[in-house]
Amino acid sequence: MPPALRRLFPILTWGAAYTRASAANDLIAAVIVTIMLIPQSLAYALLAGLPAEVGLYASIAPLLIYALMGSSRTLAVGPVAVASLMTAAAVGKLAAQGTPEYLGAAIALAFLSGLMLLAMGALRLGFIANFLSHPVISGFISASGLLIAASQLPHLLGIKAGGQTLPELLGSLLRGLGGVNLPTLVIGAAAVGFLLWSRRGLAPLLRARGWQARPAGMVVRAAPVAAVALTTLAAWGLGLEARGVALVGEVPGGLPVPSLPPLDLGLWAQIAVPALLISIVGYVETISVAQTLAAKRRQRIDPDQELLALGGANLGSALSGGFPVTGGFARSVVNFDAGAETPAAGAFTAVGMALAVLFLTPLLHYLPKATLAATIVVAVLSLVDLGALRRTWVLSRTDFAAMLATMLVTLVVGVEAGISAGVILSLGLHLFRTSRPHVAVVGQVPGTEHFRNVLRHAVVTVPEVLTIRVDESLYFANARFLEDTVYDRVAADPGLRHVVLMCPAVNDVDASAFESLEAINSRLRDAGVTLHLSEVKGPVMDKLRRGHFLQELSGKVYMTQHDAMRALAPEVTARVRAAGRSE
Amino acid sequence: MPPALRRLFPILTWGAAYTRASAANDLIAAVIVTIMLIPQSLAYALLAGLPAEVGLYASIAPLLIYALMGSSRTLAVGPVAVASLMTAAAVGKLAAQGTPEYLGAAIALAFLSGLMLLAMGALRLGFIANFLSHPVISGFISASGLLIAASQLPHLLGIKAGGQTLPELLGSLLRGLGGVNLPTLVIGAAAVGFLLWSRRGLAPLLRARGWQARPAGMVVRAAPVAAVALTTLAAWGLGLEARGVALVGEVPGGLPVPSLPPLDLGLWAQIAVPALLISIVGYVETISVAQTLAAKRRQRIDPDQELLALGGANLGSALSGGFPVTGGFARSVVNFDAGAETPAAGAFTAVGMALAVLFLTPLLHYLPKATLAATIVVAVLSLVDLGALRRTWVLSRTDFAAMLATMLVTLVVGVEAGISAGVILSLGLHLFRTSRPHVAVVGQVPGTEHFRNVLRHAVVTVPEVLTIRVDESLYFANARFLEDTVYDRVAADPGLRHVVLMCPAVNDVDASAFESLEAINSRLRDAGVTLHLSEVKGPVMDKLRRGHFLQELSGKVYMTQHDAMRALAPEVTARVRAAGRSE
């Protein structure tokens, strides 16, 4: 079998060694994940403004494809909260909820996102995900969680309200507060209370009654299904629809029919940016979950292969009438904890979801939307991590600023603007930081061949020689700073005869920095000062050799700073070198 | 006198020590620069699509203000080719040439650019200029030179043609070729030929006839004025206007009347981006010229003060009916070579230009536009440096790509798109480069305490200890790469017990890298592997101390890599250390 094929379909590797024991474990995990995934799929479809069955469709084909292509053993893909919110934001601009255009645009979004991920994977562009710094991602996800929770409040209260931003949502909510539907509020509050209690109180209770940890955990995972069943029964038995409780209603049964998404270039152009943002955010989350879980079992994730697998999953979702999917944190952890050993668990989950679509949809008619909203609210509360603001503040003020700006823009302007602002700020702040690198004037430590910062150590310097150590790679953002720094020093000291640039921390030199070095060299020569380099790393030296710089350099390149000083100020250097010995 | 005032107005420093000898030198330089500046000011107004007198206005007030505020002794500001082209591109979208709206928008552009430069100076944001890498600036200026030359061909041929991009200009030119005006062509060709000859042939000729270098140089500088005078006389004497030669026509005499630019917020919003780009490009050019000249006399330039001075000059230009100005390379070199000692030379030049506006404008009526076009074409040829493409290719493929893309986008799409594409590409390529830093697995060099790359040197490693040296600061763009690299190695080697990250080249760690280090630590612990650090720099160590990382680190932080190996594999390390000695 060609290695490329084996790389593209990891199932060919793990599948060949698949055992009955693994299959049994995968099956158990699949049952638990399926029970968790049914209400989640319905809820995230609701969040995305789509019919309930679309959530189920997005939990079948993508899981099968990921099982074939994924390099993670335990990642579970499907609809997730943040991608659903981003879908609603992107598609909501183009069409009204409930129209075929809205559904078509959501499917096209999954299709385009799938194509983009496949292209990035084929071109090995996984590094694009690096443009999202951790604070930006963290701020974005917290803000998305708040937005999502706010967007579900109308469903919990039984009022009509909407909006894409927090001010819009809250304003609309306040205006609608007069029309609260009491039965809906009761169901919503009961569901939220039950779900919160099942997370915090149920497991300790079961353990206290002598349950093992694993079955107790499974019961907790089944709590949302219990909430769904109980509130559905209540809605049916008490005739709540007539009392104003919004129900999911008719859900078409049967498997999705494969079909192409709308091939409308105008539409594609409008959703290209959201598709890219969903792809990148989804990929970052996927990789992060996959690596966390893989590390626990010392397994390997192939980031470029994950792009392909996620792309395939999204294409599969679109072709089977679903919306954008990514790797979900909670469900992957459940899958892992339940003992899944291979991606076959995902395939089994897909079979479970298919059975649900075939046989359970009639039962969903009486499911109150408030129950799904409760599921969403409780799930996204774990996304909101405001403590990260404080932790980031301690580490880095600039990262804190990027995080806060991302959160505020996401809440007030929208998800796409928020993530874009975060990326731009991350880049800008990085450039700002590296554009003023740490630069130290150094002198010789008496009795040694070491050279240290004159401001921090008692060192010896020679008036006619200035040694500047640059603690950063030289590139366009700091090239001019280096020029400014050197000229300032030279202009301030008329007695200067030599400048040595000490480069042990210079890892790279780009064309701009190269030209700056040439400019420094020729301007210093005009001023009667010789330029030398010392401790230049191998790769940087290779680059310097390519141009005319070394021929034009007025001074020399020294292996060590001590060599440089021995050549430029031999008597002083020897005396300082010896000084320590006699002490 | 408060130091802040002294800093804001360098004239207070140099003016206090101003001598009669300096004044005489400055006056001579001013006369030469004035003679050069009169045709240039008219020509660049033509290039910007503005009436000729606007070019003269832009050469009076800005020079006076720069003389008060500039930190460079010899920089000469005024209308320059690239900023004039950018003005034409920005204003051409909003109004038709020759209308009051066109002039108003050009004046507003200078005003807004002045405000932006003042704000950047006040906030000490000079580092923004660093976002333009040298290759991007170089490619942009070469492409601008080509665009400018192409835009002047219709004036040289006496045909009607126009456009903002090279394809538009050339297409329009080809269509108009049938209507070439022969007298215009003769004047244009004669002027171009005379100016080229005066640059290349006149000085050697004069020197051969026994002239000194300095007076010979002055005669050469006066050649454009001679061309202006001769062709004006020819147009008047031969009645060329009747034969279809376009003349400058009526130029209003008298000094400009101070007035406010149009205070139209809608207009300001439309020109905000062009104003920012003109500000930054102009500032980068100004600083580069100023530093080159200052270095020759070992003088100091204050980059933030230059922002303020350039901002003041542009405000002055706008308030006196002029258009955007920057420091010009050619005129500054002439000023320097002619012996200017202080910014007073600029003030004297402003007086010269004011005299020209008062007394010379009637003479400009018969000046053929073809002569001005010839002045522009000959001047911008020195901007086009296609050899830079080859030189950059040798140094760096990625910088070459950024340069070529900037040139092509500038030529084919336009100046604003070109400079924007260049900035985005520079950033993207920088992130790409640093997102995959050089990472080496290292081992101990026998007989020493040194650790080197296992691929490059014959070194000794210990199976249960992996030491990875990272040759780059750790930040969001490469944090994930580090995670991937470490996990790959750990997953590939089940016998591994310790991982040491050797950090002598890590100059900084941001919040993303911090979280990656925490993730690596906890995931390695899950996999039964201990994480250690070695040779961490002081500032990085300070940052690590701020969070909980050091408490949670499964291993230790060692001062040197040798310390780490002595602790983790004492017997092997001691043997390897001794090995060389016995050899």
pLDDT tens-digit profile of B314-361? Answer: 999 999 999 999 998 888 988 888 888 999 999 999 999 999 999 988
Nearest-neighbour CA in chain B from A369: distance (Å): 38
Cβ neighbours of A264 (radius 10 Å): 14
DSSP A65-91: HHHHH-S-SS--EE--HHHHHHHHHHH
B487–chain A Cβ distance below 8 A for any pair: yes
Are residues B479 and A434, on separate chains, in Cβ contact within 8 Å? Answer: no
Question: Per the domain annotation, does B404 fall within a domain?
Answer: yes
**A386 and A481 fall within a common domain:** no
Contact residues for A401 (Cβ-Cβ < 8 A; gap 6+): A425, A429
Nearest residue in A to B433, CA atom: A508
* Residue A561 tokens, joined: 């700073």
Q: Is the pLDDT score of B374 beyond 60?
A: yes
Q: How confident is the model at residue A345 (pLDDT cuts 50, 70, 90)?
A: very high
A13–chain B Cβ distance below 8 A for any pair: no
Q: How confident is the model at residue B533 (pLDDT cuts 50, 70, 90)?
A: very high
A interface test, pick of B74, B123, B130, B453 with most A CB neighbours within 10 Å: B130
B175–chain A Cβ distance below 8 A for any pair: no
Question: For residue B107, what pLDDT is reported?
Answer: 95
For residue A130, give the nearest of B291, B391, B435 by CB distance: B435
Within 8 A of A521 by CB-CB distance, chain B residues are none
Alpha helices in B297-396 (DSSP H): 303-319, 329-337, 344-359, 369-381, 387-395
A525–chain B Cβ distance below 8 A for any pair: no
Q: Domain boundary residue among B427, B454, B481?
A: B427
Question: Per the domain annotation, does A432 fall within a domain?
Answer: no
**B213 and B112 fall within a common domain:** yes
Question: Per the domain annotation, does B6 fall within a domain?
Answer: no
Whole-number Cα distances in Å, A497 to A443, A488, B68:
16, 15, 33
As a whole number of angstroms, the distance between CA B371 and CA B192 comes to: 8
Nearest-neighbour CA in chain A from B283: distance (Å): 12
As a whole number of angstroms, the distance between CA B491 and CA B487 comes to: 6
Measured in whole angstroms, the distance separating CA B404 from the mean position of its chain's CA atoms is 16
Which of A 373-392 lie inside 8 A of B, CB atoms? 391-392
Within 8 A of B494 by CB-CB distance, chain A residues are 298
Q: Is the pLDDT score of B430 beyond 60?
A: yes
**B484 and B535 fall within a common domain:** yes
For residue A438, give the nearest of B303, B483, B539 by CB distance: B539
Are residues A510 and B299, on separate chains, in Cβ contact within 8 Å? Answer: no
Q: In chain A, pLDDT over 70 holds for what percent of residues?
A: 99
Question: Per the domain annotation, does A531 fall within a domain?
Answer: yes
**B423 and B461 fall within a common domain:** no
B270–chain A Cβ distance below 8 A for any pair: no
Question: Per the domain annotation, does B52 fall within a domain?
Answer: yes
pLDDT digits (tens, 9 = 90+) for A180-214: 999 999 999 999 999 999 888 888 888 888 888 77
What crossing angle do the helices spanning B20-47 and B223-237 adopt, rounded to 10°? Answer: 50
Question: For residue B580, what pLDDT is reported?
Answer: 55
Nearest residue in B to A453, CA atom: B538
Q: How confident is the model at residue A349 (pLDDT cuts 50, 70, 90)?
A: very high
CATH number at residue A510: 3.30.750.24
Q: How confident is the model at residue A55 (pLDDT cuts 50, 70, 90)?
A: very high
As a whole number of angstroms, the distance between CA B433 and CA B426 comes to: 11
For residue A431, give the nearest of B131, B292, B507 by CB distance: B131
State the DSSP H helix or E strand holding residue B322, giving kind and residue range, or none if neither.
Answer: none
Question: For residue A583, what pLDDT is reported?
Answer: 40
Question: For residue A582, what pLDDT is reported?
Answer: 42
**A400 and A454 fall within a common domain:** no
Residue in the structure block whose two tokens are 């279809």: B244
Within 8 A of B430 by CB-CB distance, chain A residues are 475-477, 510
pLDDT digits (tens, 9 = 90+) for A179-189: 899 999 999 99
Q: Is the pLDDT score of A504 beyond 80?
A: yes
Q: How confident is the model at residue B124 (pLDDT cuts 50, 70, 90)?
A: confident
Within 8 A of A298 by CB-CB distance, chain B residues are 490-491, 494, 527-528
Q: Is the pLDDT score of A65 beyond 80?
A: yes
Helix (H, G, I), strand (E, B) or coil at A156: helix
Full residue range of the structural domain in which residue A473 is found: 439-582
Question: For residue A424, what pLDDT is reported?
Answer: 82
**B485 and B371 fall within a common domain:** no
What is the DSSP code (8-state) at residue B444?
Answer: E
As a whole number of angstroms, the distance between CA A380 and CA A377 comes to: 5
**B187 and B277 fall within a common domain:** yes
Are residues A512 and B133, on separate chains, in Cβ contact within 8 Å? Answer: yes
Q: Domain boundary residue among A427, A455, A487?
A: A427
Q: Is the pLDDT score of A449 beyond 80?
A: no
Question: For residue A1, what pLDDT is reported?
Answer: 67
Q: How confident is the model at residue B1 (pLDDT cuts 50, 70, 90)?
A: low
pLDDT digits (tens, 9 = 90+) for A13-52: 888 889 898 999 999 889 888 988 998 899 999 999 999 9
**B421 and B443 fall within a common domain:** no
B interface test, pick of A293, A395, A550 with most B CB neighbours within 10 Å: A395
A447–chain B Cβ distance below 8 A for any pair: no
State the DSSP H helix or E strand holding residue A327, giving kind and residue range, or none if neither.
Answer: strand A326-327
Within 8 A of B479 by CB-CB distance, chain A residues are 130, 134
Q: Which residues pair with B326 in a beta bridge?
A: B78
As a whole number of angstroms, the distance between CA A6 and CA A4 comes to: 5
Are residues B505 and A505, on separate chains, in Cβ contact within 8 Å? Answer: yes
pLDDT digits (tens, 9 = 90+) for B471-490: 888 888 888 888 888 888 88
pLDDT mean over A132-145: 87
Which of A 277-296 lie inside 8 A of B, CB atoms? 287, 291-292, 294-296
Nearest-neighbour CA in chain A from B129: distance (Å): 8
Question: Per the domain annotation, does A73 fall within a domain?
Answer: yes
Helix (H, G, I), strand (E, B) or coil at B470: strand
Within 8 A of B427 by CB-CB distance, chain A residues are 427, 431
Name the domain count of chain A: 2
Nearest-neighbour CA in chain B from A400: distance (Å): 9
pLDDT mean over B232-240: 91
* Residue B16 tokens, joined: 């206090």
Q: Is the pLDDT score of B579 beyond 80?
A: no
Q: Is the pLDDT score of A529 beyond 90?
A: yes
3-state SS of A439-460 is: EEEEEECCCCCCEEECCCCCCE
Nearest-neighbour CA in chain B from A131: distance (Å): 6
For residue A395, give the nearest of B132, B435, B511 by CB distance: B511
Q: Is the pLDDT score of B33 beyond 70?
A: yes
pLDDT mean over A478-483: 85
Closest C-alpha among A137, A131, A122 to residue A307: A122
pLDDT digits (tens, 9 = 90+) for B169-205: 999 999 988 889 999 999 999 999 999 998 888 888 8
B127–chain A Cβ distance below 8 A for any pair: yes
Within 8 A of B391 by CB-CB distance, chain A residues are 547
B135–chain A Cβ distance below 8 A for any pair: yes
Question: For residue B583, what pLDDT is reported?
Answer: 39
Angle at B86 between CA B273 and CA B139, to 5 degrees: 100
* Model ipTM value: 0.70
pLDDT mean over A381-394: 86
As a whole number of angstroms, the distance between CA A373 and CA B473 comes to: 45
pLDDT, greater one: B66 or B208: B66
Q: Domain boundary residue among B403, B427, B451?
A: B427
Beta strands A465-470; A451-453: pairing state = unpaired
Helix (H, G, I), strand (E, B) or coil at B78: strand
**B362 and B451 fall within a common domain:** no
State the DSSP H helix or E strand holding residue B257, giving kind and residue range, or none if neither.
Answer: none
For residue B526, give the nearest of A295, A478, A484 by CB distance: A295
Residue in the structure block whose two tokens are 């990891």: A10
Measured in whole angstroms, the distance separating CA A396 from the mean position of its chain's CA atoms is 19
pLDDT digits (tens, 9 = 90+) for B257-313: 888 888 888 888 889 989 999 999 999 888 888 888 887 777 778 888 999 999 999
pLDDT digits (tens, 9 = 90+) for A531-573: 999 988 888 888 888 878 899 999 999 988 888 999 998 888 7
State the DSSP H helix or E strand holding residue B498, giving kind and residue range, or none if neither.
Answer: strand B498-502
**A408 and A490 fall within a common domain:** no
pLDDT mean over B223-235: 90
Q: Are A316 and A259 in contact (CB under 8 A)?
A: no
For residue B483, give the nearest of A136, A291, A399 by CB distance: A291
Q: Is the pLDDT score of B393 beyond 80?
A: yes
pLDDT digits (tens, 9 = 90+) for B41-57: 999 999 999 999 999 99
Question: Per the domain annotation, does B3 fall within a domain?
Answer: no
**B343 and B206 fall within a common domain:** yes
Question: Per the domain annotation, does B269 fall within a domain?
Answer: yes
B539–chain A Cβ distance below 8 A for any pair: yes
CB-defined contacts A:B, below 8 A: 214
For residue A490, give the nearest of B133, B298, B479 by CB distance: B298
**B415 and B483 fall within a common domain:** no
Q: Is the pLDDT score of B581 beyond 60?
A: no
Closest C-alpha among B432, B364, B329 to residue B72: B329
